[in-house]
Structure 1
Amino acid sequence: MITWGTTMSTLTSQQKSDYERDGFILVEDAVPPNVLSHLQSVTRDLVEQSRSVTQNNDVYDLDKGHSKDNPRINRIKTPHNVHAAYKEYLRSDALLELVQPLLGEHIRMNNSKLNTKAAQGGAPVEWHQDWSFYPHTNDDLLAIGIMLSDIGEEDGPLQMIPGSHKEPILSHFNDGVFCGAINPNDPAARLKDAVSITGKAGSLSIHHVRTTHGSAPNLGNNPRLLLLYELAAADAWPIGGALSVFVGMSQQELWDYFNDNMVCGVQSVTPRLRDVPVLMPLPPPKDASSIFQTQSSGGAKSAFATS
């Protein structure tokens, strides 16, 4: 039996101040060892199960060269729907005590993903702001990145641009189509200011929804395993047309979906409106099934292209 509620650390006033200033923080040794071991085991099993998969599906986004003998995965999609362990950890005190100081007592999960960047060339994620994919009525949203493996510079770590969460939303379009990536030649992106987020397994990062970030290919010898939760204050409501998951839902289905995804507290029926910059992610690219496909089919210009 896994004990999920063991609190390793709480967010300090300095960490909260750093988050507000920079738009991201790193919290070392945040995951209880028994929880980390369990999540790693579950993830290894899912990677093993991918050996029988030959094309992208609702669970896996496959990397180039994936095969039965050499499983290479970009992502395990919505892992909280694939295995209960990911959902249970999200709702544990060990994690909530780190995010409630930033989002309040009422928090909803928008999405989860597990980027399993394969060794020796695993796909990069081009520079982007999460906000460009799913604008809301206010920007009290963030993403938590839990390191399930040691992540060094050679492993394609997340890279952040300090202070970018307070700057304008940059264009994520190519030839008039949403491509989910910033043109790396745009001087406003300030890519020269990038900070790498590295650490031992069990550490985690938290970044604001408007913080510019990306990651290079994994040139290390092991997969880079990063579990990501995208969370929102419960009074942040998605702006219609931004999230395709809601297309075709009835009012009851939408309400049920919101409540099913509550992490703590209750879902607000009073959206909090703030004057935040918004560019709708429309028209969409040919394939928007994941950020990898959005950036590829949308013709995003790569900042990580190799000769």
Structure 2
Amino acid sequence: MLSQKQREFYETNGYLKVEQVVTPSELDELQAVTDQLIDESRQVTQSNEVYDLDRGHAPQDPRLTRIKLPHKRHAIYDRILKQSKVTEVLTDLLGPNTFLNTSKLNTKAPGGGAAVEWHQDWAFYPATNDSLLAFGLMLRDVTPDNGPLLVIPGSHKGPVLSHHASGVFCGAVNPEDPQFERDKAVTLTGRAGDMTVHHVRTLHGSAPNVSDRARQILFYECASADAWPLLGASSYIHSLGQRMFWEDLQDRMITGTPCLQPRLAQVPVRMPLPPAPDNSSIFKTQESGGAKSAFA
């Protein structure tokens, strides 16, 4: 799927954009299912296991920050991950054995949909090696004014910056950190059907949606099967116990088979502890943890 030039660009810069990675019919189905899920949120009055609500959410004006675990809400999201060109890109970059860390459909509402402060995914879930990445499949056109993904090229080869504030993990870097080189940021816009890829250590964030159009991006966070999570990372898996963890791991396999010999690499790690008062989502972690905004 990917050319050698694309692979080298990803290796050097820690991000990549792949154009039209889904077919028109796949995109139509993704859009229709997403619209239906958003419409069903009209009856929801507080965040739950499916929806994270944004400020101002109401039956007449559904406003969401995200739909949680979309691959469990409808088969189309799971199929796109496992049986499409998205799958080909995944194996090109991570090899034949891969699993899903999590999925989410970030649905920034028009007119101020919530920002995601600058962070590295690695700060949330470090592992035995950093062969992890995130896909961002654009379900609608993404333009400079509706909260596109921003990345800092090459930051995946640098340090893990502090994501702490006032003694707790706040899930965001301090915009005044001298190692945070915001002036190097690249804006990733595109058409519906395009997909971004960013390495787990790449610094990234997204501004509020100030347009009159929703920004819908389907995110898959994936890992090589030999990248085992470290104890203390912010993941539900630590509460499962050994047997349930094994069953859950098999359920999250995307391609190939589980690996029982984790690869240990010399990678920088900062643990996301102690947790923020509310760490139920990145939005709550950043808000309750006292993260300082880079978009204020």
TM interval, shorter chain, is: over 0.9
- Kept in 1, the 8 Å contact 2:125–2:235? The answer is no
TM-score by length of 1: 0.95
> Which residue of 2 is the match for residue 4 of structure 1?
none
Seq. identity, %: 54
Q: Secondary structure at the match of 2:80?
A: helix
Q: Pick one of 75, 78, 99 that aligns with 2:69.
A: 78
1:31 is aligned to 2:25: no
- Give the drift of 1:40: 0.5
Aligned mates of 2:29, 2:240 — CA distance in 1? 35
Aligned partner letter, 2:88 = E
- Give the drift of 1:244: 3.4
Q: Secondary structure at the match of 2:105?
A: strand
1:198 is aligned to 2:189: yes
- Kept in 1, the 8 Å contact 2:278–2:288? The answer is yes
> Which residue of 1 is the match for residue 114 of structure 2?
123
> Which residue of 2 is the match for residue 286 of structure 1?
277
TM-score by length of 2: 0.99
- Kept in 1, the 8 Å contact 2:22–2:84? The answer is no
Q: Which runs of 4+ in 1 moved over 6 A?
A: none
Q: Secondary structure at the match of 1:112?
A: strand
Aligned partner letter, 1:158 = L
Q: Pick one of 28, 32, 41 that aligns with 2:32.
A: 41
Q: Secondary structure at the match of 1:56?
A: coil
Q: Secondary structure at the match of 2:287?
A: helix
1:234 is aligned to 2:231: no
- Give the drift of 1:30: 1.3
Aligned mates of 2:22, 2:180 — CA distance in 1? 32
Aligned mates of 2:2, 2:239 — CA distance in 1? 39
- Give the drift of 1:241: 1.3
Aligned mates of 2:224, 2:235 — CA distance in 1? 20
Aligned partner letter, 1:181 = A
- The alignment of Structure 1 onto Structure 2 pairs a total of residues equal to 296
Aligned partner letter, 2:151 = M
Aligned partner letter, 1:226 = I
Aligned mates of 1:50, 1:115 — CA distance in 2? 14
Deviations 1:28-59 (A, max 9, x none): 11111110110000000000000000001011
- Give the drift of 1:297: 0.4
> Which residue of 2 is the match for residue 58 of structure 1?
49
Aligned mates of 2:290, 2:70 — CA distance in 1? 27
- Give the drift of 1:279: 0.5
Q: Pick one of 133, 139, 143 that aligns with 1:142.
A: 133
Q: Secondary structure at the match of 1:115?
A: strand
Aligned mates of 1:276, 1:256 — CA distance in 2? 28
Ranges in structure 1 where 5+ consecutive residues have no aligned partner:
1-9
Q: Pick one of 91, 103, 106 that aligns with 1:100.
A: 91
Aligned mates of 1:206, 1:248 — CA distance in 2? 29
